[in-house]
Amino acid sequence: MGSLGKTYVENGGEIEVSDTFVLKVISKIPYALWEATVPLNLSKNPSVSQGNMPVTVYGIDIGSGVLKVFYNGKPILQSFVELFNTHLNLANNYVFKIIVPIQALQFIEAQRQDDIKLEFQIVGTYLIYQQNIPQTKVLKQFSLQFNQTYSQKNWLNLLRETGYSDKWIIEIDRPKIEGFNEVLAFLDKAGNKLLEKNDPPGVLTELRKAWKALDPLIQSKDDEINKKIDEGSRGEQSYPQKSQRIKEIRKAVINFVQIGPHEEGYNVTYSDALLAYRLFISLLQYYSELISEADK
């Protein structure tokens, strides 16, 4: 069993966190929680030696603690304050529940390239006392820092379990018509490729497949959809109706998505793929509402 980090406490004692640290998801977005199991042990007993007197050995109780998480030196996550009041010996697991805002994940993903290193810090209190004499307890504070590296694969699995890979948390109506789930399946693949950040043209390929599945659904209800779009709009003389303008937006988005097949003429970057994905999501969200209303 290896060590991730250690800190010194009163009277020469040493607290260590072992490499059996575990981080797991216990609640998904929109109220995401991670559970961190931190294995602490008293790797060196506090003791005092005075001349010819017998060595005085001390015990340690962990009182309370909070776990902070940093990325590139910036604080991004924090646990609830946990009250332990537990005697520390050779092997103790301390469990922290960490609140995970979606903004923190977006901050990480905007900077991450592949693997990720998170920095952890436990800030807490401990009680030190002469062994077998609990009446001598004195309250102290401690801070223990350690790092944990996650491979891209493990990090993406953690994101998916958290619900972040359910694609940027955008509400999409799901019309009860045959073929719409196929659209979402292709969109899901495009989103996963975005998270992996290593195949921008592949993102556009999945978006084109999604469009190929979506277009017949729109065309089959074109009249009803246009009526809904123009409902309550008088329009302006010599200018296109609102429904026509929406069609032009649709053509522009699909035209942009088409750069993928022509790699000899276009360099598809991650930013291109992200833009195409966001535009497509917005378009799908808009039409999914219209198709749902047309079905009523």
CA-CA-CA-CA torsion for 231, 234, 240, 242, nearest 10 degrees? -30
Would you give the end-to-end CA distance of the chain in angstroms? 62
pLDDT at 166 over 50: no
What phi and psi values does residue 129 have, to the nearest 5 degrees?
Answer: -155, 155
pLDDT at 128 over 50: yes
Going by pLDDT thresholds of 50, 70 and 90, the confidence category of residue 10 is: very high
Residue 39 CB neighbours (<10 A): 17
288's tokens:
């999914």
What pLDDT, on the 0 to 100 scale, is given for residue 71? 95
pLDDT at 292 over 90: no
Cα 288 from Cα 174, distance rounded (Å): 7
Cα 126 from Cα 121, distance rounded (Å): 15
Of 38, 48, 35, 72, the residue nearest 158 (C-alpha): 35
What pLDDT, on the 0 to 100 scale, is given for residue 156? 82
64 beta partners: 83
Of 22, 23, 21, 26, the residue nearest 163 (C-alpha): 26
The mean pLDDT of the chain is 86
User: What pTM did the predictor assign?
Assistant: 0.64
CB 40 within 8 A of CB 28: no
Cα 173 from Cα 166, distance rounded (Å): 14
CB 173 within 8 A of CB 290: no
Computed on alpha carbons and rounded to an integer, the radius of gyration of the chain in Å comes to 28
- Name the least confident of 31-45, 147-161, 172-186: 172-186
| Residue 19 to residues 6, 23, 38, Cα–Cα distance (Å) | 11, 12, 9
What pLDDT, on the 0 to 100 scale, is given for residue 145? 97
107 compared with 6, residue with greater pLDDT: 6
Of 39, 7, 2, 46, the residue nearest 23 (C-alpha): 39
Please write the tens of the pLDDT for every residue from 79-119: 999 999 999 987 799 999 999 998 898 888 878 877 899 99
Cα 291 from Cα 184, distance rounded (Å): 15
CB 158 within 8 A of CB 271: no
pLDDT at 168 over 50: no
Please report, rounded to a whole number, the percentage of residues in the chain having pLDDT higher than 90.
43
Cα 180 from Cα 290, distance rounded (Å): 13
pLDDT at 196 over 50: yes
- Name the least confident of 9-18, 76-85, 260-269: 260-269
What pLDDT, on the 0 to 100 scale, is given for residue 260? 59
Please write the tens of the pLDDT for every residue from 68-80: 999 999 999 999 9
Report helix, strand or coil for 198. coil
Cα 77 from Cα 71, distance rounded (Å): 9
